[in-house]
Amino acid sequence: MKTKLNRRLLLLIVSLGVMIPFAAPYFTFDPANSRVDIAPGSLRFPLLIAHIAFAFAAMLAGFAQFSGRLRARRPGLHRIAGRVYVASVGAAGLLALPLAGYMEDFSKATGFLALALAWLFTAWKGWRGAVRRDFEAHRIWMLRSFGITLVAVSGRLLVPLLLLTYGLLHGFTLPAGREGMVEAVLNANIWAGLVANFAVVEWVLLKPKKS
């Protein structure tokens, strides 16, 4: 139990360490600080801020929801965390749909769209399991949903590995230059994070429980 708690705490610290520096520039509310180009008068920037805010809320509520201590000692708070999580995923996932339309790279846009749809679907399935009092299905689908929530973290952590993979595939040459390499990696990291997290979550779910 203590080992599991330590792992969850470590994952929370790593997630905050990745997401806070990424999100901070957007909450200056200055489009000049955006990590993507924003056209003057575009709705992209406010949509992006709202998406990031709700995604961050979903991440925090997700960590709270998976706290065994909270679930056992304060079931009411666990239910509140679950409602906040589902509502935040719903808002962030729906906001992601128009944001995908602003992405020029097809691979990145489809990855973002697939991520949003999978996020919405798994959260909905988890919510339905709770409503129907099928708590095993609720646990399984919420674990899958939270795995998708953390793609925002894993996709960024995988960037060094993707850069190395790019180098290996191109014989450690840069046919499109350094900028082309970075762009190619950032266009693929959503897919990489989604596949990696899906594999980890399914491994956890399929792993035999200790008797």
What percent of the chain shows pLDDT beyond 70?
96
pLDDT at 38 over 60: yes
| Rounded distance between C-alpha atoms, residue 193 and residue 4, angstroms | 22
The one-letter amino acid at 135? F
Q: Mean pLDDT throughout 132-140?
A: 93
**Residue 174, by phi and psi: left (phi above 0), alpha (psi -120 to 50) or beta?**
beta
pLDDT at 5 over 70: no
pLDDT at 70: 73
Buried b (16+ CB within 10 A) or exposed e, 167-196: eeeeeeeeeeeeeebbebbbbbbbbbbbeb
Q: pTM value? A: 0.90
Tell me the per-residue pLDDT of 74-116, one tens digit each, with 9 for 90 and over.
888 888 999 999 999 999 999 999 999 999 899 999 999 999 9
**Cα end-to-end distance, the chain, whole Å:** 14
The one-letter amino acid at 156? R
